[in-house]
């Protein structure tokens, strides 16, 4: 039946398309109606059931079909992704979220680097987070490049309660600049970037203590001590530099850093590497690997050996053991303030029994604590073994003062034999270790490109069964980290390991000279480990990943009305529909704007050149996913206002003209019409 022109405009078509009709916001649902069952998770209609014929035609092996079925997650069945993976975004500065086993990328969260989809760093209050994340805490910043807008993110850490992930917050560190960021998992957005004092760079972070008391982050390359002239600092390395182990206290309600309760322990100027927080039996300790205890500083054009040669001279470097419970007791009376944080000096740390060392063989990397907290597994890049330290032996050795020596800074070095309970020959280039629910360790083998599986010690295995290599699976080139499901907690889930491979030569269709990284999903449920799938990661080099059971995350669908994304509280500047207005105060023009399908109200803002515009935008929608963008051409402004969200932007209208502001999300059939004007007239 044909509609009249009038009927068409006022009714049927508009309703189906989700327009605003008579003030009622229609909801856009599905869109395809009955005939789109195949895309909405209903009965599959068109796919031929002759699986073998399809496989043959595509050149697939029979085994590929089982792998496909094990990992396929059809649209509309999100619960088939049993785990979320939080992956570092490497030098993209971001954090990536994926589902497991589908390995589909769900989101790339803007953290240290501007991200225009989320309006992160393009004009909203997020600009203040970037600015606040660039201080002189970790050393001066070049005045010609005053805001740090990237990071080399390595190690994400999920918050924990009783040693299990609680799905509340995730932290991620910046290896390049010694910073750390906090992301709230209610909305999957960054809330805080903190420039950690005395850390120019960092590696031993982030790692959360079992009840999220602290998040740990320590130096990578040691930092120049305050007041030292850099000219001769390298030649006087031992006196000029120091490392720092940082315990950032977390606010138990908000997850944010509480600097007043935080502290650092000063460390020798070795290159401190990866760390891990103790748990259960080792709760109260943090373990940090190190290399370059030779303190080599290079100078290959000045007649010195290159750093990698100087740093590999000794057979052993030192595993650092930091007793943070002890540090907590003495920090009030025995610390000094240094760049805004309490620091326990190195000699005090030694005197108070806060810091110990133990030898670790041949270019160590990785220091991973087993679920019971008993074992600390260290890989030696130039040694085919993993070395397994036992906290019970460590504690006895400390009590008995069973030291082989002290280093040149006076730190006691425990005897290797009195703290190591086992070594397993796993293969070439062991790096990082993860754990399953049955007492096994899984270590990545960088040189061999494989994952090794082996038994740890008691209580899961008898002495005869302990420390035995039981399986190995080849992965693609150059695996760095790996992650097992909840493999950092006191109750790992087993099931899968993901291998994070650095190279992807020959794996994917050519995309020019820079290839993606390659994540391989490994099945742990069978008798032998088996690679199930490859996923290209075309966004820099992820290092570490944590995997959490999906049902632990309780994220919001929509914000409570008027929520400020930064504070996560309702903003006093948020408005309800109907309260839109423009207020003038001197040369400031404050605009209270509502945002909903399909308009901005007000949609015209008139100012004089040089006036300051403060825009308070409230998305007054309550429909999940009804996000609107807000972009202003030529002003470098891009914002995202999710349903219920309040967002604020302040800028000087310093360019004259008529600027067509518009919504960047295709939000409704009249999305294109969701636009307006900022008119900047010549100065009065
Ligand atoms: S580190 S593999 Cu931060 Cu091993 Cu990268
Ligand atoms: Cu709102 Cu497009």
- Say yes or no: CB of residue 626 within 6 Å of ligand 2: no
- Say yes or no: CB of residue 91 within 6 Å of ligand 1: no
DSSP codes, 301-368: TTTSPPHHHHTT-SSEEEEEEEEHHHHHHHHHHH-EEETTEEEE-HHHHHHTT-EEEEEEESSEEEEE
Q: Quick one: which of 623, 622, 642 has its CA closest to 568? A: 642
DSSP run (H or E) holding 73: none
- Say yes or no: CB of residue 671 within 6 Å of ligand 2: yes
Q: Which atom of ligand 2 sits closest to the CA of residue 596?
A: 1
The structure's pTM equals: 0.93
- Say yes or no: CB of residue 480 within 6 Å of ligand 1: yes
**What pLDDT is stored for residue 124 in this prediction?**
87
Asked whether 171 and 247 are in contact (CB, 8 A), the reply is: no
Q: Is the dihedral of CA 115, 117, 123, 126 positive or negative?
A: negative
Q: Which atom of ligand 2 sits closest to the CA of residue 663?
A: 2
> Residue 629 C-alpha to ligand 2 middle, in angstroms?
6
Q: What is the mean pLDDT of each run of 10 residues along the chain (684 residues)?
A: 50 41 39 39 60 91 93 94 97 98 97 96 92 91 91 98 98 97 98 97 96 98 96 97 98 97 98 97 98 94 90 92 98 97 98 98 92 96 94 98 97 98 96 97 97 96 97 96 98 98 94 96 97 96 97 97 96 98 97 97 98 98 97 97 97 97 97 97 88
- Mutation choice for ligand 1 from 90, 154, 482, CB with most ligand atoms inside 8 A: 154
Distance CA 343, CA 53 (A): 68
Q: Quick one: which of 390, 389, 368, 365 has its CA closest to 379? A: 365
**What pLDDT is stored for residue 678 in this prediction?**
98
**What pLDDT is stored for residue 363 in this prediction?**
86
**What pLDDT is stored for residue 308 in this prediction?**
87
């Amino acid at each position: 039946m044909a509609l009249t022109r009038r009927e068409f405009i006022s009714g049927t078509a508009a309703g189906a398309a989700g327009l605003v009709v008579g003030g009622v916001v229609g909801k856009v649902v599905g869109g395809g109606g009955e005939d789109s069952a195949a895309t909405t998770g209903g009965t599959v209609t068109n796919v031929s059931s002759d699986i073998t014929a399809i496989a043959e035609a595509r050149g697939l092996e029979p085994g590929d079909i089982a792998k496909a079925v094990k990992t396929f997650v059809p649209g509309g069945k999100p619960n088939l992704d049993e785990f979320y993976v939080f992956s570092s975004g490497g030098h993209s500065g971001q954090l990536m979220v994926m589902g497991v086993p589908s390995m589909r990328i769900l989101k790339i969260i803007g953290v240290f680097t501007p991200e225009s989809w989320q309006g992160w760093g393009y004009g909203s209050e997020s600009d203040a987070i970037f600015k606040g994340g660039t201080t002189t805490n970790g050393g001066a910043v070049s005045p010609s490049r005053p805001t740090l807008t990237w990071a080399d993110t390595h190690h994400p850490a999920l918050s924990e309660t009783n040693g299990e992930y609680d799905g509340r917050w995730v932290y991620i560190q910046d290896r390049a600049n010694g910073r750390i960021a906090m992301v709230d998992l209610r909305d999957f957005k960054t809330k805080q970037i903190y420039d950690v004092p005395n850390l120019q760079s960092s590696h031993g972070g982030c790692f959360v203590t079992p009840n999220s008391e602290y998040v740990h982050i320590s130096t990578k390359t040691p930092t120049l001590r305050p007041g030292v002239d850099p000219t001769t600092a390298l030649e006087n390395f031992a006196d000029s530099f120091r490392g720092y182990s940082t315990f950032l206290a977390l606010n138990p309600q908000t997850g944010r850093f509480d600097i007043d309760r935080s502290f650092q322990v000063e460390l020798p100027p070795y290159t401190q590497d990866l760390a891990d927080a103790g748990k259960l039996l080792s709760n109260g300790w943090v373990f940090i690997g190190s290399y370059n205890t030779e303190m080599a500083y290079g100078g290959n054009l000045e007649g010195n050996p290159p750093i990698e040669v100087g740093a590999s001279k000794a057979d052993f470097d030192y595993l650092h053991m930091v007793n943070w419970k002890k540090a907590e007791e003495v920090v009030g009376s025995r610390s000094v303030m240094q760049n805004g944080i309490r620091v326990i000096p190195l000699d005090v740390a030694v005197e108070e029994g806060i810091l110990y060392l133990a030898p670790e063989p041949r270019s160590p990397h990785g220091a991973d604590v087993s679920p019971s907290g008993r074992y600390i597994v260290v890989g030696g890049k130039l040694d085919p073994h993993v070395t397994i330290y036992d906290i019970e032996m460590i504690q006895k050795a400390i009590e008995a003062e069973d030291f082989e020596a002290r280093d040149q800074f006076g730190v006691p070095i425990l005897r290797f034999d009195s703290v190591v309970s086992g070594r397993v020959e796993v293969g070439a280039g062991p790096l990082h270790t993860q754990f399953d629910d049955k007492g096994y360790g899984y270590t990545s083998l960088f040189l061999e490109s494989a994952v090794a599986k082996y038994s740890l010690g008691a209580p899961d295995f008898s002495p005869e069964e302990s420390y035995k290599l039981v399986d190995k699976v080849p992965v693609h080139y150059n695996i760095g980290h790996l992650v097992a499901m909840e493999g950092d907690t006191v109750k790992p889930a087993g099931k899968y390991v993901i291998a994070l491979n650095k190279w992807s030569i020959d794996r994917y269709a050519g995309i020019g000279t820079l290839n993606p990284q390659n994540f391989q999903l490994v099945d742990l449920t069978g008798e032998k480990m088996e690679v199930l799938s490859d996923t290209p990661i075309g966004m820099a080099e992820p290092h570490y990943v944590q995997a959490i059971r999906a049902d632990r995350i309780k994220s919001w669908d929509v914000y409570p009305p008027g929520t400020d994304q930064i504070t996560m509280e309702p903003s006093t500047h948020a408005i309800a529909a109907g309260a839109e207005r423009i207020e003038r105060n001197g040369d400031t023009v404050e605009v209270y704007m509502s945002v909903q399908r399909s308009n901005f109200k007000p949609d015209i803002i008139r100012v004089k050149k040089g006036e300051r515009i403060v825009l308070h935008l409230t998305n007054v929608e309550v429909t999940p996913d009804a996000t609107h963008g807000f972009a202003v051409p030529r002003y470098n402004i891009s914002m995202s206002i999710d349903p219920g969200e309040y967002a604020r932007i302040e800028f000087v209208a310093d360019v004259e003209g008529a600027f067509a502001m518009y919504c960047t999300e295709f939000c409704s059939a009249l999305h294109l019409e969701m636009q307006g004007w900022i008119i900047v007239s010549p100065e009065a």
